[in-house]
Amino acid sequence: MTDESTPANVRVERPEAGIARIVLNRPRQRNAQDFPLLYELNDALGAAIADESVRCIVLAGEGRDFSAGHDLKGSGMVVGQDRAAVGVWGGFAEPGAHGWYATEQEVYLELTRRWRNCAKPTIAAVHGNCLGAGLALAWACDLIVASEDARFADPVVSFGMMGIEWFAHPWELGHRKAKEFLFTADSWDAHEAWRLGMVNHVVPPGELNDFALALARRIAAKPAFALKTAKEAVNRCLDMGQQMPAIEALFPLHHLCHQHNQLVFGQLMEPTDAPSFLARDPGAARAAAEGEQA
């Protein structure tokens, strides 16, 4: 059953009792993330968290890809003007580094932290491309199920950046593989992601949705308070190992790269002829990828 009142960028389904399925719904843009999509996702997750009948949440993507990362064509709104902020930052319209730092702090750090710490188990069902900021969505979930056609990459070093805003790479991949992942900007398939422990299960593409639903069903049958406290216990262990403090401390390095590129090239990312990570042909031009995200 689909909730018809859900905004167009995100679709909410209730496939059965106890389970909410939230679907990124920009298939023509390969679910590239603009600000409206992220705020609608936040609203949908907030509603699922507040609904005590929901015991487990599945996050999926409509169309060819889970998420192609940031929408390179623009934000789609001015935070604090077109949409009220949900975090503690302000000054979104200020000039220079002030406004952009505040905006990314709100949209890419504080929202993702909220989703990572939500009090219900979450499962990312990943197919196709999961690139750049798409990784942040998947990594914010408790479990990741990937179809065999899934590809994972953080290509932003090719664009003069040190990594995406949600810098969880060393925890997701181990420190040496995290360096390789970033330095090469290579894409890795689902089986490699599973081998490294980033993915819980790899399934045939036609079985992804059913497998994720079956896993959610098993989880939803457990006592709700036990699930919440088990999730909090694991997250606290990660944070005692400094995961969340490190992600917050490293966020300014992301912006140092932005400001370097702004000074040297007059734009937030370095011009590059790096190949498209969206195209099935890895030799396709970056311009083709940007065209897909228009």
CA distance 89 to 268: 21
Check the CA dihedral 276-281-285-287 and report its sign: negative
Mean pLDDT confidence for 115-119: 96
The percentage of residues in the chain with a pLDDT greater than 90, rounded to a whole number, is 79
Instruction: Calculate mean pLDDT across residues 70-98.
Output: 84
Top pLDDT among 153 and 80 is at: 153
* pLDDT surpassing 80 at residue 170: yes
pLDDT at 278: 42
Q: What is the pLDDT of residue 74?
A: 61
- Residue 191: which residues within 8 A CB-CB, separation 6 or more? 148, 202
Residue ranges covered by each domain of the chain: 10-292
Bridge partners of residue 129, in order along the sequence: 151
Geometric angle at alpha carbon 33, from 43 and 245, rounded to 5°:
75
Residues 235-250: pLDDT tens digits? 999 999 999 999 999 9
Dihedral in degrees, nearest 10, Cα atoms 126, 237, 157, 184: -70
| pLDDT, position 274 | 54
* CATH code 3.40.50.300 for 10-292: no
**Higher pLDDT, residue 117 or 288:** 117
Cα 285 to its chain centre, rounded Å, is: 24
| Model pLDDT, residue 273 | 64
Q: How far apart are CA 78 and CA 85, in angstroms?
A: 10
User: Above 90 in pLDDT, residue 257?
Assistant: yes
Model pLDDT, residue 110: 95
Average pLDDT over all residues of the chain: 89
Instruction: Please provide the size of the chain in residues.
Output: 294
Residue 293 has pLDDT above 80, yes or no: no
Mean pLDDT for the stretch of residues 119-139: 98
Q: What is the pLDDT of residue 7?
A: 52
The model carries a pTM of 0.89
Of residues 99 and 80, the one with the higher pLDDT is 99
Q: What's residue 128's pLDDT?
A: 98
- Say yes or no to pLDDT of 287 above 50: no
